[in-house]
Structures are given as structure tokens and as C-alpha cells.
Amino acid sequence: MDERTLLTDSDELLSGNRQQQDETRLWTRRNALALTAGFLAAGAVPARAAYARVAAPRANVVVVSKRNRVMELRSGEQLLKRYRVHLGFQPTGQKVMSGDGRTPEGQYFIDRRNARSDFYLSLGISYPNAVDTARARSLGVQPGGDIMIHGGPRRAADKSKDDWTAGCIAVTDQEIEEIWSMVPTGTPVVIFA
């Protein structure tokens, strides 16, 4: 073997080691990025108690009486459940515009579900309907939106208030679990004064 052969063999050996080091470094970088992304994703979702769906009869209408602070789940004429509710911080009167603190009155339906709600679980109400939108437009204001039936409250100061939402209908977290199981998307919601 001459000197040239030794240099060629050692260059190939070094070259192979560099490639293996680069692959190891790349693999480690990928794992670190994947692990970091996983931690960030896990941290983005607030920790909650596990919600276990309960077998319950299905409601085909939700009826809310603002005056009595009562929400009923009904199947035809049969009353399935009745709940005490909390309303918007300005509960008297029809909701007219965004930020007025009133709970709307009228005929709506459940149009969405949010299992990652700030208020545990929430069922979206289809407010504003065509009448609400026309009323707001005639007054030159925005009708608002994001009216929900949800759990809560989260702030300690709200726990002692009768009506604390921004216009939503609130029940306890335990009650919203039951409601979530009994009220499918598309269920009509009638809200009376």
C-alpha cells in the first residue's frame, strides 16, 4: 500500500463519518422539533375534566323563559328536564345590538357545538335571525352574535351574580354535560321574554 491509498481510504472513512454525523444531527433536530410542536399543541388546549357522554333521551325543542330564568328541554309535549339559567347582564328586553348585554328573544335553532369553549361546553344559538338583522340594520347598529347555551362561570366575581353573561344562557358545568347529550344540532330554540 502506498501513501496515496491510505489517504483515499482515510478520506472515505472521514466522509462516511461526517455523513453519519449529519444524519444523526438531522434526526435529532427533527425529533426536537416534533417534540416541541407536541408540547406546544398540548399546552394550547386547557386541561379539563374528562367529559363522558351520558345516554339520555333526545330533546326536540328547547324553551327558555327569561322572566322565570328557566330553560326546559322537551320532546313533544313531554318535559324531559328543567334548569335554572343565568342570562345576559342586562336581561330585560329584546337584544338589539352587539354589547347590550341582553339575551335575545325569538325562534332560533342550535347551529354549532364547541367542546373547547371558554365555558366548558357550549351549544351555539342561531342568533341573529332575519328579524334580528333587519331590526339592527334599521337602527344602524350591528346585531351581535355568538349567543350560546354554556357552562360556567369561570370568574369568581360572576359566581354570586344572577345574570352575568354577555347575552348567553348559562347553566352549571354538570348541567351543560347533560344538555350536550340531550340536544342535537338543529334542535329548535324558543326564547320568551
Active site residues: 150, 168
Task: Please tell me the distance from the alpha carbon of residue 82 to that of residue 104, in angstroms, as a whole number.
Answer: 20
Q: Which residues pair with 63 in a beta bridge?
A: 72, 190
Closest by CA to 87, choosing from 10, 193, 147, 169, is 169
DSSP string of 111-150, one letter each residue: EEEEEEETTEEEEEE--S-HHHHHHHHHHTS------EEE
**Single-letter amino acid, residue 139:** L
